[in-house]
Structure 1
Amino acid sequence: MAEAREGCGGAGSLEAELTCPICLELYQEPMSLSCGHNFCRRCIDEVLYSQCRRTCPTCRADLGFTLELRNFKLGNIVEAFKATISKGQEARGESLQQDQAAEEKTDVDPCEQCLDGPQPAVKTCLICEASLCQAHLSKHNARDFHQEHILVEVGTGRAEERRCRDHGKLLECYCLREEMCICVLCSITGDHKGHEVITMKEGHDKKLVKLCNTMTDLQESKSDLDTALEELQESENQIKNNTKTLTSDLNQLFKSIKAELDKKQRMILSDIRSYEEEDLAVIANTRKEVEQKRDQAEQNIQALQMIKEQPDIFLFFRDLKVVTDRIASLDLVTENVQVEEVQLDDRLMTQYETRKKKFLLHLDYLLDDIRDQSHRVN
């Protein structure tokens, strides 16, 4: 009912006069008491039924045995008031829907050639500088001299990007020396005069070939990196197996030694784990570098694949230069990784043999100490 007060000047005071003092809602089947006060039929019945003495809830007048009477006129006024409020709400709802529909229409680019009730545009002609609906687009394409016009999706980039900043002409040519899109006047009288200039379509075809070659090179580099990672994994497994074997041999030797050697046994095994951690740290660092190179190659392959499928030639050239410059700065060589891996086995075996000899010699010293202690005890 607050909306009714806002829409009509005196509706608020009228609503107060038509409100039941018990339920505080508009009268439902209003009844009049002998004292002149009005209530909903249901409300007054419940109040009087709960009283031992029949009195008016408002003025406390004694009603005696007088029955309440139906106030038809007041009921008609309530119904008329409800109808007025309902119409006001419907009118405001329709107005709100119209405003929402108008806002939705403004979000769509209209056809610039529709005279009555513009339809949504589906394409923009860069030559005609006009956005066209499907019907006007068909008429546009039916004309022979429009076949060379450039059509793009509505709202695709800014029109200024596709025009020469010096001459204001549409970018239709490609300079091979500068590797950039130019207009016709740039190649005739501008900074690109005398340069080798081709059409953007021809430039697109040439760059597409280079793009495919670059993707092939990246794929080969990625394969080499995968191979290097596999070889590193084999080296890691070999290090772990050698460590496991050496640890097992040492455990067998220590089984024959008395409890006095337990402390020194733990020290020797700790040294072995330390050696293993050092070797695995080298492998982990190399693995991290190779994985980063592989991820870079994969990311650039995906970027080039998206550029390859780009239908907009201007966006194709713009995005391709960014990606190719990034690729040129990458270092995806794997020769160093392979050389280090080849030299790894001999180095490890030499280290393990040297350590084993040291351990055995150390054990001999320990056994000699035990024998000396035993002789002294005896």
Structure 2
Amino acid sequence: MTRPTALAGLAEEVTCAICLDIHSTPVSLSCGHSFCKQRVQQSRQLRPQVPFRFPLCHSQAEPAAELQPNVQLRSIVEKFLDAPTQEKKEDGEMQSEDEDESSGPEDGVILCDSCLQEPQPALKTCLTCEASLCQAHLSKHRTKSHLKDHVLVEPCDAQVLAERRCRQHSKLLECYCKTDSVCICVMCCVTSSHKNHEIIPLEEAFGQVQKAFPETLKALQKHEAELNQRITNLLKQEDEVEAEESLRRNQLESLFEQMQLQLENTKAEVLTALRQNEEQQLSKIRTQIEKHQEEKDAASRDIQELNVLKHQKDMLLFTKAFEAIRTRKRNAVPTAAGVTLPTPPILFDELTTDITLRLFQQFLSDTKALFKDLPVCEHLTVSVKHLNGFHSNATRVYAPPRILYDFLHDLHAFPNNQRATEQVQSNQSFSGGRHFWEVDTSNATGWKLGIVQPSVECYLQTFADRLCVFKGQTMIADKGCPVALKVVRVELDCRRNTLAFYNASVKDGDPAESLRLIETLSIPSIYPAYAIFYTSDGYLQLL
């Protein structure tokens, strides 16, 4: 070994681990390490009531422990100072530069545990010593041969250091249990529940997770992208809902404004009719009053003339004047107290008021039901029996006898003494809610559409150019069949127990014109109900 190298090693031995300067009055502690007496005393004065921790080994000593001068070390220091080398100077300059670089600690940084007066920011933390080291103390730590095996990590505080140790055995977490996917210490491998598990070194586990890291990151990024897309879709849906609700709100307000306008117009029409009727009645009464007033005035004049005449002494004059008064024409006075008046356009009595209010309440109930419970479109099918090689789509009903169907209901006799006909009914039954189905009748003649219940059939049927609505054997309505009738909509409301038929031939254009009511009838509240179909020629197409 050359002299400069030997002196460099000697400089390390004669340097105080606290002040990082050559020992001045070195003293020995009970742990065997030596430090400058002045530095140790300063450390004790800063925390007089706390046990003193030795900077290198971190063992504890009482504050009142006696400091023993290290005479031999002091002699070595004196000899070392008498023979300085260039290497020592360079080492001092490098140490000074390191101190300059590590000066100025910022808030929140981990400070060196070996610095006593002005702690410098730590560059590494020794897990074995459980101490954080600045650049200067880290250089000393690395040069110690017995400290070279210590594990150095990025600076961390006491809480992180505690997490690096096993809570059960207070040992470093140096192994990884693949069975339980947890980091464990060596003692856990042989004494705890991990004894028979698959254990690998922490370094190997780190290598494995490093390999799995890109795939995991990619999967999480994909998951994040999917969530972002999901959120975007939900936000778009939210905007659509707000827009649709705004449109519905505007439509509803417009609807009620129109209803209110029509109600006001009807009110004005009724009030006008009542006012006109009143004027007619008063005019008739006044005409009679004027007529009778004229007759009364004439009678009064006759009475006055008679009162004057009774003083007449001349027989001739009296007789002529009296006969003239008596023979004057006078109309008989009617015995009735008044005159016959025109009938009012509307009568308001308790019964009429009650009926009007009940109809209005029913209208409000129907309006609420319309908004709350919209009818559901049912795409019906029917069961078909194959016969003589013929077959049929389950959404078409052909005229018999080309195809015969399974009868899920007894044969029904048409009204007007027609022969019994074969009809089919839907596979699906209805027991609640509102439903509708539409049927194309343009390729059929003599058709019949409706429902069958356990006790009765209700249906719409064509007779020549007539549309007839039946409830059992009773005809409810008889109307002319529209020339443009092609599509019939059957609407069943199980809650209100009603069956309605609509002309749904118009599919485009004004929505108000797309459905024209043919007839609505009340049905028994007995369910289930099935849709029924029949045609005497051609076929019916279920839409």
- The TM-score bracket by the shorter chain reads 0.3 to 0.5
Hey, which of these two has a bigger chunk of strand by percent? 2
- TM-score under structure 1 normalisation? 0.35
Is the radius of gyration larger for structure 1 or structure 2? 2
Hey, which of these two has a bigger chunk of helix by percent? 1
- TM-score under structure 2 normalisation? 0.26
Whose RCO is larger (CA < 8 A, sep 6+)? Answer: 1
